[in-house]
């Protein structure tokens, strides 16, 4: 990896993390950065695989750590505890992200783009447009897939006018029907039968830290919450094992119905009562139903973070 600039999203990568990494590589190479290369920090999920298979692309190479001084570009995240091992000592050249800024510090100046959009790929789309760089089918499909994923086909409250405009324009370039391709993409990610409980709770899990209190908010998408809840006992065993292994105070698993835009929450840990304070509902059997809640970033994290 010597002389390469590594581009990657967060651990337990979702579609935006993978697609934005690949798109950022394409964008930078079109601007002359020939040594930029996309990587991943974990296994891809079935939703992301659907998008890559649609284009006949392979997943980026997996990396687990970086050496001191390694030049990197971070997309779709900035918090070091969500990033690659050794990130504290890497040379961070650039960040492109749509999340809060937390636990982030560098020793040198850098390019930092943070916008409150529904998806990192929307930010990248606007960069293509602003710099008058041609968007071809491959990057159009990648960015469209990421936007569909992060905004749940534009139904998430994180969706902005920027995301809507970007997706509509990208769909034209990609030659896809947004509703048909979007539903096929999202449904591909709801096939959970092949996953163990340990894998399921780590499919899309964000590790967070507030004033030394460590907690995780994980999310799985489904078309049937009840089907996932049939595995509740085993899921709770896996969650409790993770709490013990990582010294967590709280583990939240959001089981999100992508068709009806609701979530069932399973909350465990010594601070599980934070969920009751955050949402004004009592946990029953370690669960609470949250109508209309689909966004971890906008609807789950803020009230939980405020009550930790």
| Domain around 261 | 197-307
pLDDT computed for residue 211 by the predictor: 87
Number of domains within the chain: 2
Which of residues 187, 221, 241 is at a domain's end? 187
Confidence of residue 3 (pLDDT cuts 50, 70, 90): confident
Co-location of 172 and 34 in the same domain: yes
**What pTM does this model have?**
0.86
Say how far apart CA 112 and CA 183 lie, in whole Å.
Answer: 33
Mean pLDDT over the full length of the chain: 96
Overall average pLDDT of the 107-118 stretch: 97
Q: Which of 131-135, 167-171, 204-208, 238-242 has the lowest mean pLDDT?
A: 204-208
Co-location of 180 and 239 in the same domain: no
Say how far apart CA 193 and CA 22 lie, in whole Å.
Answer: 28
Strand 205-210: give its sheet, edge to edge.
205-210, 213-222, 250-257, 262-268, 287-291
* High-pLDDT (> 90) share of the chain, %: 96
Rounded-to-10 torsion of CA 268, 215, 308, 9: -140
Alpha carbon of 199 to those of 40, 147, 149: distances in Å?
17, 24, 20
CB 77 within 8 A of CB 83: yes
The pLDDT tens digits of the residues spanning 115-153 come to 999 999 999 999 999 999 999 999 999 999 999 999 999
- For the domain that residue 144 is a member of, what is the CATH number? 3.90.1640.10
Co-location of 156 and 291 in the same domain: no
Task: Specify if 160 maps to a domain.
Answer: yes
pLDDT computed for residue 78 by the predictor: 97
CB 232 within 8 A of CB 262: no
The pLDDT tens digits of the residues spanning 43-59 come to 999 999 999 999 999 99
> Does 184 score more than 90 pLDDT?
yes
Co-location of 203 and 183 in the same domain: no
Which of residues 150, 169, 187 is at a domain's end? 187
- For the domain that residue 208 is a member of, what is the CATH number? 3.10.310.20
Task: Specify if 111 maps to a domain.
Answer: yes
Co-location of 140 and 258 in the same domain: no
> Does 2 score more than 80 pLDDT?
no
Sorted by sequence, the CB contacts under 8 Å of residue 169 that are 6+ apart come out as: 125
Task: Specify if 192 maps to a domain.
Answer: no
> Does 1 score more than 90 pLDDT?
no
Co-location of 23 and 129 in the same domain: yes
Say how far apart CA 218 and CA 276 lie, in whole Å.
Answer: 17
């Amino acid at each position: 990896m010597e002389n390469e600039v590594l581009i990657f999203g967060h651990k337990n990568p979702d579609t935006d993390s993978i697609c934005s990494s690949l798109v950022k590589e394409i964008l930078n190479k079109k601007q002359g950065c020939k040594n930029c290369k996309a990587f991943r920090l974990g296994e891809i999920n079935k939703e992301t695989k659907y998008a890559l298979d649609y284009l006949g692309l392979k997943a980026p190479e997996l990396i687990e750590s970086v050496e001191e001084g390694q030049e990197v570009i971070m997309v779709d995240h900035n918090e070091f505890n969500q990033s690659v091992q050794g990130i504290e000592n890497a040379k961070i050249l650039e960040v492109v992200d749509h999340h809060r800024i937390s636990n982030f510090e560098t020793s040198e100046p850098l390019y930092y783009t943070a916008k409150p959009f529904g998806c990192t790929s929307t930010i990248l789309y606007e960069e293509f447009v602003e710099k008058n760089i041609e968007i071809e089918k491959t990057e159009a499909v990648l960015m469209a897939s990421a936007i569909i994923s992060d905004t749940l086909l534009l139904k998430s409250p994180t969706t902005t006018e920027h995301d809507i405009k970007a997706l509509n324009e990208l769909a034209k370039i990609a030659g896809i029907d947004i509703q048909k391709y979007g539903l096929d993409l999202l449904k591909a990610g709801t096939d959970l039968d092949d996953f163990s409980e340990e894998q399921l709770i780590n499919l899309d899990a964000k590790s967070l830290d507030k004033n030394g209190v460590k907690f995780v908010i994980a999310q799985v998408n489904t078309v049937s919450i009840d089907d996932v809840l049939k595995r509740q006992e085993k899921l709770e065993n896996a969650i409790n094992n993770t709490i013990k292994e990582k010294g967590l105070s709280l583990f939240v698993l959001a089981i999100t119905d992508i068709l009806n835009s609701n979530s069932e929450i399973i909350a465990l840990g010594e601070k599980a009562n934070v969920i009751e304070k955050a949402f004004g509902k009592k946990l029953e059997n370690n669960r609470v139903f949250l109508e209309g809640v689909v966004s971890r970033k906008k609807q789950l994290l803020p009230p939980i973070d405020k009550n930790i």
